[in-house]
Homo-oligomer: A and B are copies of this chain.
Amino acid sequence: MIRFDCDYNESAHGAVLAAIAATAGEQHPGYGTDAHCARARDLIRSACDAPEAEVHFLVGGTQTNLTVIAAALRPWEGVIAPESGHIAAHETGAIEACGHKVLPLMHENGKLSAAAVAQAVEKARRDPNAEHIVQPALVYISQPTEYGALYSVSELAALHGACRAAGVRLFLDGARLGYALAADEGLTLADYARYCDVFTIGGTKLGCLFGEAVVITDKTLSPGFRNLTKQHGGLLAKGWLLGAQFETMFTDGLYLACGRAAVESARRIKAALAQKGLPLAFESPTNQLFVELTRAQSAALERDFALGHWDATGGETDVLRICTSWATTPQQTDALIAAIENL
């Protein structure tokens, strides 16, 4: 059984494992105040061309999302998110457990439009009973989205502009950001730093054992951020484990290389699907493919490959998710392509 069902099914890149192993015998102060974290912060600031940015390291994505959002909102405020957004759909109400409403918006392949955001904020602000309405103060987006889609530079710039005009902040969840960077070389880390008030660079799904880097460019989000992280159980005692991993990922372009491998594998699989005439449910340029298969076809593929079940179309077919990762080998890709050709 070869796993193509998610991008966190494997351990970590060899360089990361080596970096962790190399911490054996080292002694460090706790909670991210060590030299590995300091170096990793500098490397990330440099990669983002954002020398003033603040960088924090947390263990996982849900933890990161809830901490950032708790830092950004006052109690009566909420966060706008696409209905499909991870915080809206797959975090067991983590944001609500912090007291905040997620305000769901319609989306296209997981993407919000600047116009929809502007309109939603305007509606809440102008309601005659505005004090009875949760007031949006933050917009949450993912890059790539849950559908594998990407915001273009101009779309991201437009969202940024709409948020500025409306007086709300923009938060980009980059749990899979490396795959976005690999898929669209027009959008750089510096763009994310320029257009977002806060964004994350995901390690869990991209070469690390675990870890998300939070990059804060709007410094009004900083006070109390570490206190909040501790309060929600996210301040790792041995913080240097996070530092050592990100230090490795941002040395010699490893983070981007991890993304490229997965996107290249996905492109090869996509070509095989097209050749076979198997329709995609929607276009995705990154490491996730959503293909419509008959029950017989999916059963045949799932004999040897673990795939994700995305949705039932309601008819004779289902949509399955094929997810490559930094760890997908050319041999694994070849094997899946061969299976597709044999369907």
- A232 touching B235, Cβ below 8 Å: no
Please name all residues of chain B whose beta carbon is closer than 8 Å to the beta carbon of A64 when the two chains form the complex.
233
Complex interface: chain B residues within 8 A of A27 (CB) = 1-3, 9-10
0/1 interface trace, chain A 3-34, chain B, CB 8 Å (1 if under)? 10010111110100100110111111111000
Provide the residues of chain B in CB contact with A104, threshold 8 Å.
Answer: 104
Minimum CB distance partner of A78 in chain B: B93
Number of A positions contacting B (CB below 8 A):
78
A236 partner residues in chain B, CB cutoff 8 A: 59-60, 210
Taken together as a complex, chains A and B put the C-alpha atoms of A235 and B63 apart, in Å, by: 9
Main secondary structure of the interface of A (DSSP, over half): loop
- Least CB separation from A73: chain B residue: B75
B92 touches A231 (CB 8 A): yes
Q: Do A93 and B70 contact each other (CB < 8 Å), given the known contacts A11-B20, A27-B2, A309-B128?
A: no
Q: Given A62-B230, A131-B92, do A6 and B26 touch, yes or no (CB 8 Å)?
A: no
Residues of B within 8 A of A160 (CB): none
* Contact indicator B11/A238 (Cβ below 8 Å): yes
From 85 to 142 in chain A, residues with beta carbon under 8 angstroms from any chain B beta carbon are 89-94, 96-102, 104, 128-129, 131-135
Contact, CB under 8 Å: A232 / B233: yes
Q: Does A267 have its Cβ within 8 Å of any Cβ on chain B?
A: no
Looking at the complex, which one of B21, B59, B91 makes contact with A132 (CB distance below 8 Å)?
A: B91
Q: A232's contact among B17, B97, B102, B223, by CB below 8 Å, is which? A: B97
A90 pairs with B20, CB closer than 8 A:
no
Question: Which B residues touch A6, using CB under 8 A?
Answer: 30
Determine whether A234 belongs to the interface, using a CB cutoff of 8 Å to chain B.
Answer: yes
Q: Which residues of B contact A12 (CB under 8 A)?
A: 24
Within 8 A of B (CB), among A191-247: 204-205, 209-210, 223-224, 226-228, 230-238, 241
A291 CB → nearest B CB, Å:
18
Bound complex: CA of A118 vs CA of B219, how far in Å?
29
Q: Which residue of B lies closest to A308 (CB)?
A: B128
Contact A234 B63 (CB under 8 A): yes
Task: Say whether A44 faces chain B, with CB atoms less than 8 Å apart.
Answer: no
- Asked if B204 contacts A91 (CB within 8 A), the reply is no
Any B CB within 8 A of the CB of A282: no
Q: Do the beta carbons of B30 and A9 come within 8 Å of each other?
A: yes
Please tell me if A66 contacts chain B, counting CB pairs below 8 Å: yes
- A164 CB-CB contact with B under 8 Å: no
Are A226 and B133 in contact (CB-based, < 8 A)? Answer: no
In the complex, what residues of B have CB within 8 A of residue A209's CB? 20, 238, 241
Q: Chain B residues with Cβ under 8 A from A28's Cβ?
A: 9-10
Task: Report yes or no: B232 in contact with A232, Cβ–Cβ below 8 A.
Answer: yes
Chain A residues at the B interface, C-beta cutoff of 8 Å: 1-3, 6, 8-12, 14, 17, 20-21, 23-31, 59-67, 70, 74-78, 89-94, 96-102, 104, 128-129, 131-135, 204-205, 209-210, 223-224, 226-228, 230-238, 241, 309
22 A-B pairs in the complex with CB atoms less than 8 angstroms apart: A8-B238, A17-B24, A20-B20, A20-B209, A59-B233, A62-B233, A62-B235, A70-B75, A76-B228, A76-B230, A76-B231, A78-B93, A93-B100, A93-B134, A99-B99, A101-B102, A128-B309, A131-B227, A131-B230, A209-B241, A210-B236, A210-B237
